[in-house]
Structure 1
Amino acid sequence: MKPVPLSMHAVRFHAHGEPEVLQYDSVPRPVAGPGEVLARIEAIGVNFADTVRRRGGHYPVPSPLPFILGGEAVGEIVAVGPGCNPALIGTRSFVFPGVGCYAEYAAVPVERLYPLPQGLDAPHSIGLFVQCLSAAMILRHAARMQPGETVLVQGAAGGVGVFAVQLAKAWGAGMVIGAASTEAKRALAMELGADMAVDYGRPGWGEEVRTATGGRGVDIVLEMTGGRIAEESMALLAPFGRSVVYGSASEQPWSVDPETLPPRNLSVTGFWFRQYLDRREMLLDFLAEFGVLAAAGKLRVQVDRVLPLSRAAEAHHALETRATSGKVVLVPDALYA
């Protein structure tokens, strides 16, 4: 085991703003406290929520300055704090401290360690955590998807979308409709199993969906866009339809008239990944199922790009300009090849 240094590199922002506020700093290495372990980071998941916190947008958890982003990573346990099993040292895990993963080391509560799948490297493994788990819990728990139902996946080539398309098909959806902004992204959605792909930035896309469903509409919407597209998606819901809101990429407001819900038994619900961390058994069951699906060729991890930690600003810029298809991953510079 290599000695653990007293300092490390991390990406922080000292003020809110554009991606350029992200700085590659030398900072003290964290120490594992009671009930914590110290992880040497191998791969870091970049999520849209990171860009919201960097900009100073609305986020349910404070981001005190200077702030190290990064909720999720894959890492090797190199030290344990009081009360933790020393046998953890040398093991590799998903880690979810919630903050601090844009770094070479992170201190992680021991209950926020999760087993890695077999046969995947660190950059591909990290795709199965926040985004694949989000897709799974949105479909099965928040939306209560049933076999034969029609599912509309907004951002079908994005981090959550690529998994939502695949899982909906694997779990028996009757039709999966991928909504994406470019021809290449729509082609990817079809490649991953969507039955239809639409350009939801083009006028009339909703009529395409209605025609394809025989005028009935869709049972489930994975809502991550907001604004006009959210309202158009709501109008497509069939009787007993459910819209699950898990983001607002456009940052445009939208509204729902409550009086329109009862006549068709519609529902709108929210989803936030962090609160599901308290449902550890559910997460473990899903992670085990992902391994089985991946081994059977029914679940593919789509990594868009892997960048060194020092280029985190580039990763944020790619996410915010919608230039990505799948997971964006950072790795410590010493591991970047």
Structure 2
Amino acid sequence: MDAIRHHSFGPPEVLVLEQVPDPVPGPGEVLVDAVAHGVHLLDTSIRRGEAGPPLPLPTLPTVPGREIAGTVSVLGDGVDPAWAGRPVAAHLGPVPDGGGYARRVVVGADRLHALPETPDGTPLDPAAAIAMIGTGRMAAYTLDVAAVTPDDVVVVTGAAGGLGTLFVQEALHDGARVVALAGGPAKLAVLRDLVSDPGRLALVDYSAPDWPDAARTALGATPATLVLDGVGGPLGTAATSLLSGAEGADAAGAGRLVAYGWASGSANRYTAWAPDDERIESALEVRYAVGPDAPPMGDQRPYQERALAHAASGRWRVVTHRVPFAQAARAHRELEERRTTGKVVLV
């Protein structure tokens, strides 16, 4: 079967399409004929040989990827016959040798999610399901950590990414005002098209040198109360300053920073969001959705099921950046260069 492997750590070009033997499901497992394969930012770190906690580096050669969707084709011993032929999605778990960038993937039956039906009676699109199994799960968990209320004014960094697009939609659904930060007119247009009522949404291009001023103008006299940041570094620090940086605002006003990633590549992953302004730092409540200070997610399945249900119902419109399966190197490069919107999926 076709699979994407790398025999060394390095740039995207180490990812190559090869033929490998078909896997065979064991007891309690199924074989899934995959049609969609999730690409995660962590996959790019592993490919470069830079991964650390929560995953060790894999043994080479390796097939990357931990998110797949497709159809169950073979059942292992002890698996419920009802799974045969069903469209499913699955997260393969916290393993360095994921195996998800392959045409056929062995999955534990306990990890399967049947694709929910949309209002027209058809199963959820597999690429959208991929986004919900990993990214949607993390979005649901992070939103629980953030506890958005109708009184919040929410700043979302990386708002056109897989998580950001979901945060923007859910914060608006919860009645909050949202300032969405994204790089360039094309990404802002994607966000604009996501919402039916843009009255509580302000779009700011963070690639413009004066973007913090534009964000403060959008905020007016009301500072942000919550920053959802998966970028860190200078962008995350500048976004955090909006918690008490609005004209006429009380500099000691309360605000929450929820840190859930480190797309900036900061070496200090879990403290890259600390602002420079001591006034803001002293007023800040920091909550982590990743890292050693994050509350445990516990059972991931309820978050996955919630995300799948939101996507199937249309509450969350899922944005995907789709790349042909054989062009995995392109997918990695575009993700690393921030040329993607939404969840990156090999199809």
**TM-score w.r.t. structure 1 length?**
0.85
Q: Displacement of 1:317 after TM fit? A: 1.3
1:222-279 deviations in whole A, cap 9, x for unaligned? 2122211121122222544222222222213536279767842511313379x74723
| Contact 1:240–1:267, Cα closer than 8 Å, also in 2 | no
Percent identical among aligned pairs is 38
1:174-208 deviations in whole A, cap 9, x for unaligned? x1111111111112222223611112233332233
1:282-326 deviations in whole A, cap 9, x for unaligned? 43234223322x1xxx4322233331x221111111111211122
User: 1:146 — aligned with what?
Assistant: 149
In structure 1, stretches of 5+ residues that fail to align are 1-7, 332-337
User: 1:266 — aligned with what?
Assistant: 285
User: 1:206 — aligned with what?
Assistant: 212
Aligned positions of 1:126-141 closer than 5 A? 126-139=130-143, 141=144
- Of residues 304, 318, 335 in structure 2, which corresponds to 1:283? 304
User: 1:318 — aligned with what?
Assistant: 334
**Aligned CA distance change for structure 1 residues 75 and 61 (closer, same or farther; 3 Å):** same
Q: What amino acid sits opposite 1:325 in the alignment?
A: T
Moved more, 155-164 or 240-249: 240-249
Paired residue secondary structure (2:162)? coil
Q: Quick one: distance in 1 between partners of 2:79 and 2:23? A: 16
Q: Quick one: distance in 1 between partners of 2:307 and 2:36? A: 21
Report the number of matched residues.
316
1:69 paired with 2:88, answer no
In structure 2, stretches of 5+ residues that fail to align are 245-252
Moved more, 247-256 or 26-35: 247-256
Q: Displacement of 1:69 after TM fit? A: 0.9
Moved more, 127-136 or 157-166: 127-136
| Contact 1:210–1:236, Cα closer than 8 Å, also in 2 | yes
Q: Quick one: distance in 1 between partners of 2:203 and 2:101? A: 34
**Aligned CA distance change for structure 1 residues 256 and 326 (closer, same or farther; 3 Å):** closer
**Aligned CA distance change for structure 1 residues 261 and 38 (closer, same or farther; 3 Å):** farther
Paired residue secondary structure (1:160)? helix
User: 1:244 — aligned with what?
Assistant: 258
- Of residues 182, 190, 193 in structure 2, which corresponds to 1:191? 193
Q: Quick one: distance in 2 between partners of 1:318 and 1:299? A: 24
| Contact 1:246–1:270, Cα closer than 8 Å, also in 2 | yes
Q: Displacement of 1:74 after TM fit? A: 0.7
Q: What amino acid sits opposite 1:167 in the alignment?
A: E
Aligned Cα root-mean-square deviation (Å): 2.5
| Contact 2:138–2:303, Cα closer than 8 Å, also in 1 | no
| Contact 2:86–2:114, Cα closer than 8 Å, also in 1 | no
**Aligned CA distance change for structure 1 residues 211 and 257 (closer, same or farther; 3 Å):** closer
Paired residue secondary structure (2:225)? strand
| Contact 2:184–2:207, Cα closer than 8 Å, also in 1 | no
**Aligned CA distance change for structure 1 residues 187 and 208 (closer, same or farther; 3 Å):** same
Q: Displacement of 1:58 after TM fit? A: 2.9
1:82 paired with 2:77, answer yes
Paired residue secondary structure (1:169)? helix
Q: Displacement of 1:172 after TM fit? A: 2.0
Q: Quick one: distance in 2 between partners of 1:15 and 1:305? A: 25
Q: Quick one: distance in 2 between partners of 1:199 and 1:311? A: 29
Q: Quick one: distance in 1 between partners of 2:302 and 2:319? A: 26
**TM-score w.r.t. structure 2 length?**
0.82
Q: Quick one: distance in 1 between partners of 2:303 and 2:166? A: 17
| Contact 1:31–1:38, Cα closer than 8 Å, also in 2 | yes
| Contact 1:131–1:163, Cα closer than 8 Å, also in 2 | no
Q: Quick one: distance in 2 between partners of 1:214 and 1:95? A: 44
Q: Displacement of 1:142 after TM fit? A: 1.7
| Contact 1:136–1:167, Cα closer than 8 Å, also in 2 | no
| Contact 1:277–1:283, Cα closer than 8 Å, also in 2 | no
User: 1:116 — aligned with what?
Assistant: 115
Q: What amino acid sits opposite 1:9 in the alignment?
A: D
Q: What amino acid sits opposite 2:55 in the alignment?
A: V
**Aligned CA distance change for structure 1 residues 250 and 106 (closer, same or farther; 3 Å):** same
